[in-house]
Amino acid sequence: MSESENKQYTQQNNDNEYHFRQDPQYDLSGKGESDVDDSKSSSHWNDWPFIIIFIISCFGFIAISGIVLHYWNTKTSIYGSSHIYSSTDTSTLNSNTAICFIFACVISVVLACLGYMLCKMKSRWFIVCGIIFNIVCGLGTAIMYLSLRYWSAGIVFLVFTLFSAWCYWTMRSRIPFSCEVLTFVMSGINWYPKMLIVQTIGTVVSFAFGIWFSLTITAAYMRFDPKGNNSQTCDSSSTGSCSYSKLIGSLVVIFFCGYYITEVIRNVIHVSVSGVFGSYYYQKNSDQGPPKSPIWNAFKRAITYCFGSICFGSLIVSILETIKALLNLVKNNFISNDNTGGQIGMFIVNIIMSLINWLAQYFNHYAYAFIALYGKPYLASAKETYHMFRQKGMDALVNDNLINVGIGFYATFAAYISTLFTYLYLRFTKPDYNANGEYTAPILAFSFVISIQIVNIINETIRSGAATFFICLGNDPEVLMHTDKEKFDKIFQAYPDVLHKLNHQDA
C-alpha cells in the first residue's frame, strides 16, 4: 500500500468513517454475504463420484490391513505380541516397533492438547511462544543428534530450526494482525463451545486411525519382507510368497489409503468448523440471530452435500503424499547402499515434492473454507481461492495469517519430541532387527509424519477459524465494522488493506 493511501486510510479512521474499495474485476457475482447460506438453497451432492473413490479406498485399506494384521496375529510366537525387549525376529519390523508407534501417538495427542490450552489462555502470546519453543527444542534436538554422531538427523533438524528462526524474523511485523485474528477465533469458540465436540471427535478418530495406520505399516513388513524369519513361512501354501515387489506394492496401497482417509477426516472437521465460524461472523449480532445448532448443520453439510468436494481435494493431496513417501523409501535405499549421487538427487527431488505438497495443502485449506461458506463444488471454490490469491497475493496471505504458521510450528515441535522419543526408544530397547541401524531412518520418518497428522487434526478448530475469518473479512469487512466496531478499528490499525474489499466469484 502506498504512503498516500496510508494517509487517506488514517484520515478515514480519524473521522470514524471507512470507505471500502472493491475490485470490479474480482466481483463477478455481486451477491455479498447473503451467499453464506447458499448451500441451503442449492442442496445437491457436489462432486459425488469422488465419494465412490473414497469408499473404495476405505475398503482397500480395510482389506490389506486385515490380511497383514491376521498374519501378525498368527505369527505372534515369531514376532512377539506385547513385550518391548523380547522378539525372536531379527530382520524386519516387529511388536517392538508397534509399541514404539503407539507411544509416539500418545505423546502427539498430549502435546496437541497442551498447545490448545495454551492458545486459549494466552492467545496473544501463542504465536511468539510457539516459534520460540520450536527454535529452542529444534536446536537442542539437533545438537543432541550431532553429539551422538547421527549426522543426517542432526543436519535435518538444524535446517528446520534455522528456517523457523528466519520465518520469525521476517514475519514479526505481521504478528499484531495475527493476534487480532487469533483473538477473534478464540472468541468464536467461547461463543459456541460445542465446537470443541468436533475437536474431541477428531482427536479420538485421528488417534485411533493413527494407531491402526502404524500397526498396518508394521504388519506389512512382517508379512511381505522376505528377510529373516519370513523366509521360513513365505513359501508355505497357507501364507503365500514374500518379495520386495509385494512389500512395495502393499506399502503404496497402505500409504495412499491411509493418507487419503486421514486427509478426509481432517478436512471434514475443517469444513464443519468453518461453517460455524461463518455463522459467528455473519449472524452473531444480526436481527435473525444465530442458528440453533450451527455445528450440527455444518457437520451435516460436510458429510453430505460437501463430502464429494472434500474427497476431491483430499485425493489430490493424498496422491502427492504417497509419492513423497515412496521417494523417501527410495532415498533410504540409497542411504543404506552408500550411493552418494542417488542421495543428492533424491534430496533435490524431495525438496521439490515438499514444496508442491505444501502449496497444494495451503491452497486447499482456503478452498475448503470457501466450500463451507458458499457450498459450491471443489473446482468452483478452487477458482474463487485462486482469484483471492491473485488479488491479495500469496505472500500477503502467508504473512498476514501467521496463526497457521504458529500452529504449524507447534505441530513441528510436537513431531520433534515424538521423533526424539522414537530415537531414544530404539537406542535403549536395542531391537535386533535394527542392530545395524538400517531401519532407524524410516521409523523416525513414520513417527514424524504420524505425529504431524495427529497434531494438525487436533488443532483444526483454530486453523479453520483463522482461514474462515480471513475470507469473511476479505469478502465482507463492513459486516465486522457494524457488529464489532472496536475490533474492526484494531484490525485496521494492524492491516490497513482490510478496506480493499473482495467478493467471491460467481462460478
**What are the 10-residue block averages of pLDDT along the chain, 507 residues in total?**
48 56 45 40 76 94 90 66 51 68 84 77 74 79 85 82 80 80 83 77 80 86 69 52 80 90 89 90 75 84 91 92 84 76 82 88 89 89 85 60 71 84 85 76 82 73 84 85 84 81 57
Q: Is 501 helix (H, G, I), strand (E, B) or coil?
A: strand
Beta bridge partners of 21: 500
CA 116 to chain CA mean position, Å:
15
pLDDT of residue 60: 93
d(CA 452, CA 206): 11
pLDDT for the residue numbered 405 = 67
Selection from 126, 159, 172, 104 nearest residue 463 by Cα? 126
Give the global pTM. Answer: 0.72
- Residue 361: Cβ within 10 Å count: 17
d(CA 344, CA 350) in angstroms, rounded, equals 10
Distance in angstroms (rounded) separating the CA atoms of residues 53 and 60: 10
The whole-number pLDDT of residue 56 equals 95
pLDDT of residue 457: 66
Closest CA to 445 of 315, 318, 354: 354
pLDDT at 35: 40
> Quick one: pLDDT at residue 63?
93
Cell triple for 358: 505444501
Cell of 120: 486459549
Q: Can you tell me which residue has the cell 455481486?
A: 30
